[in-house]
Amino acid sequence: MIGLIRDSSTIKVDDKIVTVKGWIQDIKNLGGISFITLRDKCGTIQITLPKKKVEENIFRNLVTLTRESTVIITGETKKSDQTALGLEIVPIDVKVCSRADTPLPMGIVDKVNVEMDTRLNNRFIDIRRPDVRSIFELRSIMMKSIVDVMTRNGFVQVHTPKIVGSGAEGGATLFKIDYFGRSAYLAQSPQLYKQMLMSTGLDRVFEISPAFRAEKSNTNRHVTEFISFDGELAWIDSQKDVMSVIEIVIDHVLKEVSEKGKKQLEILGKKIKIQSPPYPVLTYSECIEIINNLGVNLKDGDDFGTKEEKIIGDYMASKGKDLYFITEYPSASKPFYIMNKDDTSYSYSFDLDFKGQEISSGGQREHRFDRLVSRMKESELDPNDFVFYTNAFKYGMPPHGGWGIGIDRLLTKMLDLQNVRDGILFPRDVSRLSP
């Protein structure tokens, strides 16, 4: 028997006979009456079973079910001022779709703090929690907003190979694979390919794809497979053109997620702060000064680690800014494809940091063949391994620049998640290869 198909967000008392589908979250047997909390993807519905009014086999069938079993229940709606929806359902027909095993590997609504590892090992259960599921719904809203804003700004979505013969950043963080007896690698980023496209007339491209890093970094912001959102644009005057596009994109994403994800943000108890562009710009040298003023002893050329990023994050937060660029890093700390700043030891590079953490890096690229090849040699890379790439610079390459944004980190910072893994369905890291 089927009534009007309803879920917890659409059901009304006036529906009279409805069919609802979901998981048995809880069963309370009080002798003459039993209550079942049925959870669907939108919320919960109370199923009330007065023993005298419900058919015996339906009653038995339901009250002997285990938590998290899946059922389809048809019943009569009754007004109730005891429930959040203001109604309850008295069943007249039940279909048990599957009976859940016991005990459950982890609770869903229990207010106990479950370890991240247990949650990830049982991700299919973890995602039944409305707050966890909301993160992934918000992620989906974010991804759509990125595609929309990029497309609207004339960018073409592309896909480049993830099995490659050589990597952009050198050997240390490449995953080596056996490719029919030859050595190949999992792509660290689409860097070389998106740059090659700049010579083709496809002069504004973006890609959203997995990137792989064989980094043994056991932190809350590193995973070995992440989703990289890359953009590249030709005919730029300077890296500022690239930074302006990022501002347009991030601004749109924050607004769209706030607007379209209201329901999920409410579940998470979050409000996204929209910081209007332009985002503040600090040079690397200014950052060194800020950090050293706090008693740290950084030298020109030193890299910023978690601690330094956090110091700058706190400094910018005190000025009410969550998003800011850090520009002109030392050339020596940047990959070979970043353009040197004239005759200095700095580069036309930038990072975008969000609440004290790098979420993006980018810059103007070196488009002049000779300089590119010498930069490669300086980085101890063999230009012969990159001929497929450098050829694209030999026969007419416009000035260009671009960025890579870690989608997982953007989500983490936007929603103030504790760990980048919170926003990844099935994360991969140094110790995790399953589920």
Q: Which is nearer to ligand ATP, 360 or 364 (CB)?
A: 360
Whether the CB-CB separation of 287 and 312 falls below 8 Å is answered with yes
Interface residue with ligand ATP among 71, 87, 223, 253 (CB under 6 A) is 223
Angstrom distance (rounded) from CA 26 to CA 47: 10
Task: Supply the minimum distance, in Å, between the C-beta of residue 246 and ligand ATP.
Answer: 12
Report if residue 365 touches ligand ATP, rule: CB under 6 A.
Answer: no
Which of the ranges 176-184, 231-239, 318-326, 400-408 carries the binding residues for ligand ATP, by CB under 6 A? 400-408
Q: Which is nearer to ligand ATP, 216 or 262 (CB)?
A: 216
Report if residue 327 touches ligand ATP, rule: CB under 6 A.
Answer: no
Task: Supply the minimum distance, in Å, between the C-beta of residue 226 and ligand ATP.
Answer: 4
56's CB contacts (< 8 A; 6+ apart) are: none
The angle subtended at Cα 317 by Cα 315 and Cα 318, nearest 5°, is 65
Interface residue with ligand ATP among 91, 231, 313, 406 (CB under 6 A) is 406
Strand segments, DSSP code E, in 235-302 are 281-283
Q: Which is nearer to ligand ATP, 45 or 359 (CB)?
A: 359
Task: Supply the minimum distance, in Å, between the C-beta of residue 303 and ligand ATP.
Answer: 8
Task: Supply the minimum distance, in Å, between the C-beta of residue 215 and ligand ATP.
Answer: 5
Whether the CB-CB separation of 239 and 419 falls below 8 Å is answered with no
Which of the ranges 50-58, 59-67, 122-130, 223-231 carries the binding residues for ligand ATP, by CB under 6 A? 223-231
Interface residue with ligand ATP among 8, 77, 228, 275 (CB under 6 A) is 228
CB burial of 396-407 (b: ≥16 within 10 Å; e: otherwise) equals: ebebbbbbbbbb
Q: Which amino acid is residue 209, in one-letter code?
A: S
Report if residue 424 touches ligand ATP, rule: CB under 6 A.
Answer: no
383's CB contacts (< 8 A; 6+ apart) are: 373, 376, 377, 390
Task: Supply the minimum distance, in Å, between the C-beta of residue 304 and ligand ATP.
Answer: 8
Which of the ranges 119-127, 132-140, 356-364, 386-394 carries the binding residues for ligand ATP, by CB under 6 A? 356-364
Which of the ranges 1-9, 49-57, 87-95, 406-414 carries the binding residues for ligand ATP, by CB under 6 A? 406-414
DSSP letters, 99-165, are: PPPSS-SS-SS------HHHHHHTHHHHTTSHHHHHHHHHHHHHHHHHHHHHHHTTPEE----SEES
Report if residue 408 touches ligand ATP, rule: CB under 6 A.
Answer: yes
Report if residue 231 touches ligand ATP, rule: CB under 6 A.
Answer: no
The site map against ligand ATP for 203-222 (x = CB under 6 A) is ----------x-x------x
Q: Which amino acid is residue 101, in one-letter code?
A: D
Interface residue with ligand ATP among 7, 137, 302, 358 (CB under 6 A) is 358
Report if residue 423 touches ligand ATP, rule: CB under 6 A.
Answer: no
Q: Which of these, 357, 368, 375, lies nearest to 419 by C-alpha position?
A: 357
Whether the CB-CB separation of 349 and 334 falls below 8 Å is answered with yes
Phi, psi of 403 (to 5 degrees): -150, 165
The angle subtended at Cα 311 by Cα 407 and Cα 138, nearest 5°, is 25
What residues line the site for ligand ATP (CB under 6 A)? 213, 215, 222-223, 226, 228, 358-361, 404-406, 408-409, 420
